[in-house]
């Protein structure tokens, strides 16, 4: 199956993880954008929610944090207030509280700081690609897409190389907590609430908690004050410091978010190359395409399918009333295919410019902190890949993650001819 021809009938259940196991239900999103842009979505697993699917609605709402708050959770699953407090990071806060934490991290993730990693990324890509391409036929998600973000995360955060595979396994168990290939505790099928106070309601969260604590103790002992983790531990301007729980949650967020989103962007880009053979030629021609290619690949992928907000008061919209306390989902994956905004949205056009896609949650204060790293990794990976191959094609059907929160190709068999 391909993501070019959606398999859903236009009436898919957006609240079901199974729906997304065949790729995002784009026929359903297209119908909702057309007929019912503020759709009251039934959710058997908890309180029903509003689905917002149009580009212009999401961009207008995303900056309106007073009305649409992140401070009651960012996924469709309901949380008790107690669970929310135990599991929250600055993702689950609003300005100005959110801004205080974000401010501490901006420099470490800025475009300029990230640019300093370019050679590191290029060296890692060379190593990863040289190993994968000699195989001729392989799973590109496993051998290429999964490798680069994991190893860069280690460098940026300052983690020991030998711990990385374990960390990525745990990161997968957290964020892909609805796919049985990645966790034995599938979120919507769990018989226990034992982990409800842990990040992502996952036992892996408990293990990462312990790891984070031991890591910081070891770093403190060695007098190692470098790296992103120490930035978050430093007192804010007003003297406030992060609590231990908040710190551990932040660590889990880094491991989860810094890992699979870029992976699935790379996987989607490689799959697009198999489907649109002209992309390889365009990449090989080089030049200005590298200023636009990464954003188009990331638009195409949209690994963060949605984020949720909660209404803080009643709001009228499209002739309906969003009530105070209602959950509102911004379906970025739909906005990024909105034919009312993008020209030929179902076509990968590496020259697309401007390309104001919403894969990073743009037009709001929560815009992805790692976006410059992600863009750089995607750019360099495809530059290095295009240099090394003459041809790439699918070697079998690909498989999507079972998740309505993270969209990604988890298995991508490809065949390549080296250059």
Residues that bind other proteins (CB under 8 A): 59, 62-63, 65, 95-96, 99, 102-103, 106-107, 110-112, 237, 354, 356, 360, 362-367, 371
* Closer residue to other proteins (CB): 26 or 375: 375
Report the b/e string of 344-365 with b at 16+ CB within 10 A.
ebeebbbebeebebbbbbbbbb
| Residue 55 beta carbon to other proteins: minimum distance, rounded to whole angstroms | 13
What's the CA gap between 385 and 96, in Å, rounded? 42
* Closer residue to other proteins (CB): 288 or 419: 288
* Closer residue to other proteins (CB): 64 or 225: 64
Phi, psi of 148 (to 5 degrees): -65, -50
* Closer residue to other proteins (CB): 207 or 295: 295
236: left (phi over 0), alpha (psi -120 to 50) or beta: beta
Place of tokens 């973000």: 149
| Residue 104 beta carbon to other proteins: minimum distance, rounded to whole angstroms | 10
| Residue 364 beta carbon to other proteins: minimum distance, rounded to whole angstroms | 6
Give 340-349's long-range contacts (Cβ < 8 A, gap of 24+): 340/33, 340/54, 340/55, 340/56, 341/55, 341/56, 342/55, 342/299, 346/4, 346/26, 347/276, 348/272, 348/276, 348/279, 348/296, 348/297, 348/300, 349/296
Q: Look at strands 137-139 and 399-400 and give their pairing.
A: unpaired
Cβ burial, residue 36 (10 Å; 0-12/13-18/19+): middle
* Closer residue to other proteins (CB): 170 or 357: 357
* Closer residue to other proteins (CB): 234 or 418: 234
* Closer residue to other proteins (CB): 147 or 362: 362
| Residue 113 beta carbon to other proteins: minimum distance, rounded to whole angstroms | 9
* Closer residue to other proteins (CB): 265 or 362: 362
Short-list 267, 287, 258, CA closest to 394: 267
| Residue 96 beta carbon to other proteins: minimum distance, rounded to whole angstroms | 8
CB atoms within 10 A of CB 206: 17
| Residue 345 beta carbon to other proteins: minimum distance, rounded to whole angstroms | 19
| Residue 63 beta carbon to other proteins: minimum distance, rounded to whole angstroms | 4
Short-list 301, 272, 259, CA closest to 385: 272
What's the CA gap between 145 and 259, in Å, rounded? 10
What's the CA gap between 124 and 134, in Å, rounded? 16
* Closer residue to other proteins (CB): 119 or 321: 119
| Residue 407 beta carbon to other proteins: minimum distance, rounded to whole angstroms | 21
415 DSSP assignment: E
| Residue 100 beta carbon to other proteins: minimum distance, rounded to whole angstroms | 10
158: left (phi over 0), alpha (psi -120 to 50) or beta: left
User: Cα-Cα-Cα-Cα dihedral of 72, 88, 57, 325, to 10°?
Assistant: 0
């Amino acid at each position: 199956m391909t993501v070019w021809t959606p398999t859903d009938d236009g009436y898919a259940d957006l609240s079901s993880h199974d729906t997304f196991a065949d790729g995002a239900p784009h026929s359903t999103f297209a119908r909702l954008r057309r007929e019912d842009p503020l759709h009251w979505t039934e959710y058997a697993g908890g309180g029903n929610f509003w689905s917002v699917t149009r580009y212009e609605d999401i961009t207008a709402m995303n900056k309106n944090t007073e009305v649409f708050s992140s401070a009651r959770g960012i996924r469709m699953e309901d949380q008790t207030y107690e669970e929310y407090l135990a599991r929250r990071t600055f993702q689950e806060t609003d300005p100005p509280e959110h801004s205080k934490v974000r401010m501490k991290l901006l420099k470490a993730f800025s475009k300029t700081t990230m640019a300093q990693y370019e050679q590191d990324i290029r060296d890692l890509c060379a190593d990863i690609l040289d190993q994968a391409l000699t195989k001729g036929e392989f799973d590109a998600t496993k051998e290429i897409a999964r490798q680069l973000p994991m190893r860069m995360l280690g460098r940026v955060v300052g983690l020991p190389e030998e711990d990385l595979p374990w960390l990525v396994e745990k990161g997968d168990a957290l964020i892909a907590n609805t796919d049985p290939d990645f966790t034995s505790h599938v979120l919507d099928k769990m018989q226990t609430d034992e982990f409800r106070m842990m990040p992502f309601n996952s036992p892996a969260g408990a293990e990462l908690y312990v790891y984070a604590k031991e890591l910081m103790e070891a770093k403190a002992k060695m007098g190692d004050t470098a790296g992103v983790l120490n930035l978050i531990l430093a007192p804010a301007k007003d003297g406030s410091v992060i609590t231990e729980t908040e710190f551990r949650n932040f660590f889990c967020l880094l491991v989860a978010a810094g890992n699979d989103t870029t992976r699935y962007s790379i996987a989607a880009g490689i799959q697009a190359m198999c489907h649109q053979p002209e992309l390889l030629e365009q990449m090989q021609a080089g030049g200005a395409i590298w200023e636009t290619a990464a954003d188009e690949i990331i638009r195409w992928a949209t690994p963060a399918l949605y984020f949720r907000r909660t209404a803080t008061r009643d709001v009228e919209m499209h002739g309906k009333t969003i009530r105070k306390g209602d959950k509102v989902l911004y379906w970025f994956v739909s906005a990024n295919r909105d034919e009312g905004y993008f020209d030929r949205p179902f076509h990968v056009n590496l020259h697309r410019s401007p390309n104001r896609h919403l894969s990073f949650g743009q037009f709001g204060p929560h815009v992805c902190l790692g976006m410059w790293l992600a863009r750089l990794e995607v750019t360099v990976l495809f530059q290095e890949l295009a240099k090394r191959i003459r041809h790439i094609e699918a070697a079998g059907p690909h498989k999507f993650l079972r998740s309505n929160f993270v969209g990604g190709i988890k298995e991508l068999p490809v065949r390549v001819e080296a250059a």
